[in-house]
A and B are shown apart, each in its own frame.
Chain A
Amino acid sequence: MNRSSGFRNKLIYLMVMIAMLIPLYLLGQPAGGSSGDGGGQLTQMRTKYNIAESELGDINPASETMKLASLGLRGVAATLLWSKANEYKVNHEWDRLKATLNNIALLQPHYEKVWEFQAHNLSYNVSAEFDDYRQRYSMVREGIEYLTRGVEQNRKASRLVWYTGWFYGQKIGMSDEKRQFRKLFSDDKPQHEELRESNIAVDSPDARGPDGKPDNWLVGRQWLLYGYNLVDSGVKIRNQTPINYYQTGPKWRIKHAEAIESEGVLDDRAKSAWQQAADDWQSFGQRSVPTTSPFTIKLGSILELDQQRQALTKQLMDLAGETYRAEEKLLRDGLNDQEREALAIPPEERTQEQGMLAMQLEVRLKPMWSRVARKAPENVRLRAIQLAGEMADVEARYQKTDSYRGQVNYEYWQTLCTAEQEDRTVEARRLLFDAEKANADADIDQAIQKYEQAFAMWAEIIDDFPVLLQDELSDDLMRSINRYKVAIDREDFDDDFPLHPFIEVMLSEKKTSEEYRRLRQLQKEGKLERRATPTENAVEPTSSELGDKPNGPEKAADDPLPTDGTGGEPSAGDKPAPEGDVEATTSERTPMPQG
């Protein structure tokens, strides 16, 4: 190799380098200050899709440094960190786990699932490993703080905001240690300070509980409201169904009302909490919720839709009633013998198979208005087809609304709020609470008196709102009845015992409102049979039913009845908590499925 070829090679290299710099410059130039200078291609794309760092959330210099320091091996570094985090978790090295999670968050700040997963890991899995409830609470709080940092760095992550609200409510308010956690949260001043810094109105009356201190449910609701504002301003809801997203805010108010009542606040404050819950739920019913169909629905507008449906049906019948009946007859004639037989038998005597067949048939035997309209007389056919089209639309909306209402159990919660707001319900709860307290204090006479007053009131309330049969109230009531039986030292009741039909329904297979009404009717007619109900283990009322005693130690929860959540810990699995109805997790107020 001679000198000139060496020099020539160097020139060629230089040329190639300059040639490569040009596209690099065009692509990577940052945006200039003036409005006309949008910057290179990449910058323009970032602005167009709103994924520039500054748009996503707070810029964190530590995060940027770490990402640069990984020298292109960010993925490898993140994988190693995840594997290390798991190792620390297995070895119970919590400090190092937290430190590693912080570092993971620095490397992957915009990957939402990372924040969700690890926050859930801290609050649900790691917290359960501690024995001391204060340490558990601090771990739950760590998880929540982790999530809050995630929100700061991902301002458009609607799911993270929702998840934060979810944690405040579900983890603090529905764990086995909920009594303790709620108290710790309301006294946790540093945490309140953090919330203020995140622009959550911790000091507003909307976030304060009956004792004037922030309440975890209401604070969670504030977070959810923040999320709703975010969505209203145009951010999409991702990784979640809208109905589930929107129902949690009002639900948290309901949960708050339930919580304060179970803690012994049974006065106007409880009543107003229920009223606010009812208002919230009502507003939720008025919200336009996107669905999987191309239209939006409002959960509260089912009556209107039904009215529209009926009006259209009347109009159609007026126009093409004959055709309708003819079509009906045609369909009926097309049945085979087995089907005819199934329909002929009255409903109570059908076998399961026949019952199902009958249901299917009833649907099939209804003529479709679109067909009827096409067969209508010439002069009304056009109008009939138009109306049939409208009918189909309204029908679709009705079905959707009905189905979504079923998903969130809309009617049940609506009725519950209405029932619970009433003065007499609060009074009945108070009477029961006092009765339990008197019973626990061994003041039998007082207890019996209060019990009887309470039961009379409850009978009235259940009469008006049989939906309460499905509430957790019914289990509480059964337990109280058993304690009452022990107090009066009897195995059975008089015929006119007000809650007799209630007991019958609870012990029977069908716990439905219809069954209750039937039994109530029988009692009024004096025909209700007395059934000697076995006394279940009459135990001391659990601390959950007595409410929070200010500084006393909690009674040992020895209650063998399973619904107190004395069993295993909630969601100790390694997956994030299932979204969907709050009722899906271990909770004290699990409504039974509507019969």
Chain B
Amino acid sequence: MTLQPDDFWSFSEWLLRPESFLESALLQGVVLLAFATLVGLLVAYLVSAVRYGPSEGFYAVARGVRDLFRDDLPGTSPRRIFALARLAYKEAIRRKVLVVVALFLVGLLFAGWYLDPRSSDPARLYISFVLTSTNYLILLLALFISAFSLPADIKNRTIYTIVTKPVRATEIVLGRMLGFVGVGTLMLVPMGLASYFFVVRGLRHTHEVVDIKELGDGRFSGKLSYDQFHEHTFTLEATGDTDGSVLEGVTDYVRGHRHIVRKVGDRYVIGEPTGALRARVPSYGELSFTDRSGNLDVKGIDIGAEKGRGDYGSAGIARLVGVSREARRMEFGYVEGGTLGSAIYGFKDVTPQRYPDADGIPMEMALRAFRTIKGNIVSGLSGSITMRNPDNPKIESTPINFVVQEYDVSEERLPRQIEGTDGDQIRTLDLFQDLVTPDGRLDVIIRCIDRQQYLGATSSSVYLRPAESSFAWNLFKSYFSIWLQMVMVIAFGVMFSTFLSGPVAMVATFVCVLLGFTAERIYDIRYYLDKGEAMGGGPIESLVRLVRQDSMTTDLDVDAIAAKLIKGVDSVLVYTLDVIATSLPNLPKMLSTAEYAASGFDIFGSLLARHAVATAGYVIAAFLIGYFFLKTREIAA
């Protein structure tokens, strides 16, 4: 899993962005709220002016604002909110929304048809399938239940019975939101449990021992049968029990897991697959490169691999106003072998308390290899790991060699005691005494040994692993992220339903979700529009190109006036869409917590905090807008 720069930010970094406040989330939220308020007040004034005349209209709006702060907010009673929530809850249940859970379970049953049993990392596939399908189903559900309830009430005129209770508009809106969130949560729980068991059961399998031979000195080696499209080899050793009849060992890692094998007397007991479902807690470092002459470089060598598109969104408002333009996507930088080129990771907080293991600090690597000549086909590319003191570069350990395993996370250990150089001396260095600075910093240098070959690294390729979290907890956290998305969609749905009819509210919410998903594409189009480079253009230009079967990158082949017109209209459309997309929540980012769970990484607390704060912001905005619309409709006057 490759992380992008914004994944590394802590919560306060994301909120405040100390060096570039223009990109901060706080600014974005404040601007959004301010903008929404302004637009809302303007629209409200216009509507009131039409209804009551200009000066009366102004007073109507002012009165509405005063009412909010003077009466409605203070007067909102939790008891009534709760009562309305219960009502909404019952209504939703009565509308048979529980069928979604049944749908989900049916989906799980048929998942086997569509999941590839031969993949090299089935855990990842299963987890991402389960999380993605839950996510989409829940969003659909949220869409349906939230959009229809209020309009139904308004159409059936049952709203009057509620409003005359007296119930404030705030309570109606909040109560509905809460009720639907409750229903959604009720359904998320069994879906989560079902997913967990689906994944665990789906990965469960066993083998039989097919081949065994004695290695002498009491050890055995053997092979397990070919089941589930793979097989293992294993070794057995004596456990040191009294009569030596029990031997224990482990298999090799195949498809991300291994088994524990025990020989009890004549029987072999093969354990469950382990290691496939995990949640590593990584500690990342700052990455910098040196080029082949040893000079520092920000990026590594670009080998010309095709680049992905996107990742503009992390720049916040700065991108919207045009201050920051480029995509923030981080690509792999490569290190040339047999030269002074290297990738340097600067780790922080390297303390004995954090890494108590006597064997050394566990470090994991997910590097890539690139060959310019075939070289030795049979063996992989070799690299070396060196540790260095950041403050005193003369203190350096001797290199630890490794062979690159692409697309697999390889585990190494940084030993506590290692030979190394200290200036001119060669002596045994202690990791924490000599190589780590007093404030806990350590440099780990990765080099490529084979000449004319390249090693690829990115900020998240190499990390230390201080701890390991549980998979179940990680799965729960990703479900929490799904829950947050659901809350947001419900809030939007209820908000739209206060002034639109049922189906229209649903479509409006759906459009908001869709815009959230396609935001990066819109940013990309805007980027190329600003740059002036032909890359397909906006909606009208794309349509023209499609019909004429022109390619994306050639100039538009119509006459000058038509081209100007098309580009002009497109700019307006794209900029408008851009503004809307920026104001809407970044759903793909929230969806990507599934990626963490699937790849076996612990979801950072700061990530969830960010999502929670963003959700809270949008819920508050939706609540306020919903309140105002409900209030201004004649029914709630």
Chain A interface (Cβ < 8 Å from any Cβ of B): 61-62, 65-66, 87, 90-92, 94-96, 98-99, 102-103, 106, 130-133, 135, 138, 176-177, 179-180, 190, 553-554, 556-557, 565-567
Contacts and interface: CB of A to CB of B under 8 A. Distances in A.
Interface string B361-380: 00000001101011111111
Contact of B374 (A66, A91, A557): A557
B19 interface: no
B407 A94 contact: yes
Interface in B1-26: 2
Given A94-B120, A557-B375, 13 more contacts: A62-B114, A92-B368, A95-B120, A98-B119, A99-B114, A99-B125, A131-B369, A131-B380, A133-B377, A135-B407, A553-B379, A556-B375, A556-B376
5 contacts: A90-B308, A95-B116, A95-B121, A99-B116, A179-B377
A357 B128 CA distance: 71
Given A131-B371, A131-B381, A132-B406, A102 B376 contact: no
B405 interface: yes
A190 B375 CA distance: 30
B343 interface: no
B35 interface: no
Contacts of A62: 113-114
B308 A177 contact: no
A385 to B, nearest CB: 53
Nearest to A66: B114
A396 B579 CA distance: 71
A102 B116 contact: yes
B258 interface: no
A132 B376 CA distance: 10
B306 interface: yes
Contacts of B373: 566-567
A278 B633 CA distance: 92
Interface string B119-132: 11100110010000
B307 A90 contact: yes
Closest 3 CB pairs of A and B: A131-B369, A62-B113, A95-B119
B115 interface: yes
A177 B377 contact: yes
Nearest to B369: A131
B517 to A, nearest CB: 12
B160 interface: no
Chain A, interface SS category: helix
Nearest to B120: A95
Contacts of B113: 61-62, 65
Chain B, interface SS category: loop
Given A62-B114, A133-B378, A91 B119 contact: no
B416 to A, nearest CB: 31
A102 B374 contact: no
A570 to B, nearest CB: 11
A66 B371 CA distance: 41
A138 B407 CA distance: 14
A573 to B, nearest CB: 13
A578 B535 CA distance: 30
B406 to A, nearest CB: 5
Interface string B49-61: 0000000000000
B132 to A, nearest CB: 11
A131 B404 CA distance: 8
Contacts of A565: 374
A553 B407 contact: no
Interface residues of B, number: 34
B115 to A, nearest CB: 7
Contacts of B473: none
Contacts of B374: 176-177, 557, 565-566
Nearest to B376: A556
B108 to A, nearest CB: 15
Interface of B: 2, 110, 113-116, 118-121, 124-125, 128, 226, 229, 306-308, 368-369, 371, 373-381, 404-407
Contacts of B307: 90
A554 B116 contact: no
Nearest to A567: B373
B16 to A, nearest CB: 31
A24 B374 CA distance: 62
Contacts of A92: 368, 407
A61 B110 CA distance: 11
Contacts of A553: 376, 378-379
Contacts of B377: 133, 176-177, 179-180, 554
Contacts of A99: 114-116, 119, 125
Contacts of B2: 91
A95 B124 contact: yes
Contacts of B229: 190
Contacts of B116: 95, 98-99, 102
A102 B118 CA distance: 12
A260 B156 CA distance: 84
A554 B406 contact: no
A144 to B, nearest CB: 13
Contacts of A95: 116, 119-121, 124-125
Contacts of A91: 2, 308
A87 B378 CA distance: 30
Contacts of A98: 116, 118-119
A99 B125 CA distance: 9
Contact of A190 (B115, B226, B404): B226
A249 to B, nearest CB: 29
A87 B229 CA distance: 27
A106 B110 CA distance: 14
Contacts of B118: 98
Nearest to A556: B376
Nearest to A543: B377
A130 B307 CA distance: 17
Contacts of A567: 373
B223 to A, nearest CB: 12
Nearest to A61: B113
A149 to B, nearest CB: 12
A138 B119 CA distance: 11
Contacts of B125: 95-96, 99
A176 B2 CA distance: 30
B226 A102 contact: no
Contacts of A66: 114
Contacts of B380: 131-132
Given A87-B308, A91-B2, A103-B114, A130 B407 contact: yes
Nearest to A574: B306
Contact of A90 (B110, B121, B306, B379): B306
Contacts of B379: 553
A556 B407 CA distance: 25
Contacts of A103: 114
Nearest to A102: B116
A557 to B, nearest CB: 7
